[in-house]
Copies of this chain bind each other. A is one copy, B any other.
């Protein structure tokens, strides 16, 4: 699986022998069982994840209910929200499937950036790319009705329909499960 991350990196930067070795040695590729909580509310962690295989769900507990806000799948990065601070997590990250991920933390990253400055350049470019995508997605969400959001979801994340339960998708779309059920019925006509 170290191979996978190197394949990914070499799409963007030349991967030298030294970098390849540093990555292979680091042992930062980890496997998680389905159901594993990578992050829990109230716990302190600064870990970041890059999904190589599997699916991770981001959810909050609000008014005693799970509110799913994001699904991360192959080649997506999960950035630590506890940015350098020692603050407890407000959310959970749960593996929806057996998941393989590159796991890192700020110290490891800083160390790698020192040794391989081109990695920090890549991180900068990636962070900006993900950020613009995120802003665009948020704008679309704001402008769309629940029904439009679902139709949009069908085309942008079709794989997720098979991978996660529908009531979590409802939550992800900002609506109740019963409403999603009715929307589905409506658009089938």
Residues of A within 8 A of B (CB): 58, 60, 62, 67, 69-70, 79-81, 83, 91, 113, 117, 120-121, 123-124, 127-132, 134-139, 141-143, 171-172, 174
Contacts of A70 in B (CB 8 A): 135, 139
Contact yes or no, B79 A131, CB < 8 A: yes
Known contacts A69-B143, A134-B138; A83/B129 CB under 8 A: yes
Contact yes or no, A139 B80, CB < 8 A: no
Tally of this chain's copies:
2
What secondary structure prevails in chain A residues at the interface with B?
A: helix
- Complex Cα distance A174/B173, Å? 13
- Complex Cα distance A136/B134, Å? 11
Contact yes or no, A83 B120, CB < 8 A: no
Contact yes or no, A62 B135, CB < 8 A: no
Distance between A14 CB and nearest chain B CB, rounded to angstroms: 18
Most chain B CB neighbours (cut-off 10 Å) among A58, A81, A121, A131: A131
3 nearest A-B residue pairs (beta carbon): A127-B127, A124-B124, A69-B139
Contact yes or no, B139 A91, CB < 8 A: yes
Known contacts A67-B143, A138-B141; A80/B132 CB under 8 A: yes
Contacts of A117 in B (CB 8 A): 117
Contact yes or no, A79 B128, CB < 8 A: yes
- Complex Cα distance A128/B83, Å? 8
Contacts of A60 in B (CB 8 A): 139, 143
Give A134's nearest chain B residue, CB to CB: B134
Contact yes or no, A79 B132, CB < 8 A: yes
- Complex Cα distance A127/B132, Å? 10
Distance between A92 CB and nearest chain B CB, rounded to angstroms: 12
